[in-house]
Structure 1
Amino acid sequence: MAIEGLELAKACANAADNIQAEKIRVWDLRGLSNLTDFMIVCSGSSMPHLRAILRDIRGEVDEKYGAKPCNAEGNADTRWVVLDYIDVMVHVMHDELRDYYGLEDLWADAKEIDWKD
């Protein structure tokens, strides 16, 4: 079953929610960015939590939909990891880095998506 775009974004957000990722937000970047169509940002509060979020997003989305990220940048030790699914980019960040880098401000013009079913 192929999954992409909005459906994939919601699947990633739900997988993050299932492992208690914090402050999950999804934006529609179509028409605003050439990098991706949808961006998800979520937070974890510790290294083990970040590892668990990454493990569960990858595992759940692969298991349910057969979708794997084509690339991943960073690791839990860097406190910011990007999972690149082409149509969807998932940013898993430590709380402190998220506040510091302010991605919410960077994409303030983007439409926020209600990802909860």
Structure 2
Amino acid sequence: MKAAEGKELAIACARAVDENKAEDIRVLDVTGISPLTDFMVICSGNSMPHLKALLRDTEAIVEEKLGQKPYSGEGRAETNWVVLDYFDVMVHVMSEEARSTYDLENLWGDAKEVDWA
């Protein structure tokens, strides 16, 4: 199976978090803006168990559908912000409080929003 890249992978990640009832899902195209990645998926969970489920199930769904695992992950659900790093795509799973505090959408305000639904 050929590895998915960029937009296809970002949309698959967004749909995976959506399957587990993530809130306020946004996909940003940061190509040429961020030196870290090309796409960011940002979503919120409403509790510690929900954040854990989003991480676990997103990895499983993306691996099942596209055969890809994240290259790394940073943080733990207990920190209220975890990143799954697929190189071309970074998935940010955050509590509402962390999301409000760090305001990634504003930080990457020049990014184009991708319609993933």
Q: Smaller-chain TM-score range?
A: over 0.9
Measured after TM superposition, the shift of residue 107 of structure 1 is 0.6
Per-residue CA deviation, residues 5-57 of structure 1 (Å, 9 max, x unaligned), is 10000000000000000000000011111100000100001000001111111
Paired residues for 1:33-72 under 5 Å:
33-72=34-73
Per-residue CA deviation, residues 55-108 of structure 1 (Å, 9 max, x unaligned), is 111000011111011010001111100000000000000011100111111011
Structure 1 segments of 4+ aligned residues over 3 angstroms from their partners: none
Which residue number corresponds to residue 18 of structure 2? 17
SS of residue paired to 2:40: strand
Which residue number corresponds to residue 90 of structure 1? 91
- Between the aligned partners of 1:45 and 1:6, the Cα distance in structure 2 is 26
- Between the aligned partners of 1:19 and 1:55, the Cα distance in structure 2 is 10
Which residue number corresponds to residue 4 of structure 1? 5
Measured after TM superposition, the shift of residue 4 of structure 1 is 1.1
- Between the aligned partners of 2:47 and 2:55, the Cα distance in structure 1 is 12
- Between the aligned partners of 1:31 and 1:95, the Cα distance in structure 2 is 28
Which residue number corresponds to residue 78 of structure 2? 77
TM-score (norm 1): 0.97
Which residue number corresponds to residue 112 of structure 2? 111
Paired amino acid for 1:60: I
- Structure 2 residue runs of 5 or longer lacking an equivalent are none
- Residue 27 in structure 1 maps to residue 36 in structure 2: no
TM-score (norm 2): 0.97
Taking only the aligned residue pairs, the percentage that are identical comes to: 63
- Between the aligned partners of 1:83 and 1:92, the Cα distance in structure 2 is 8
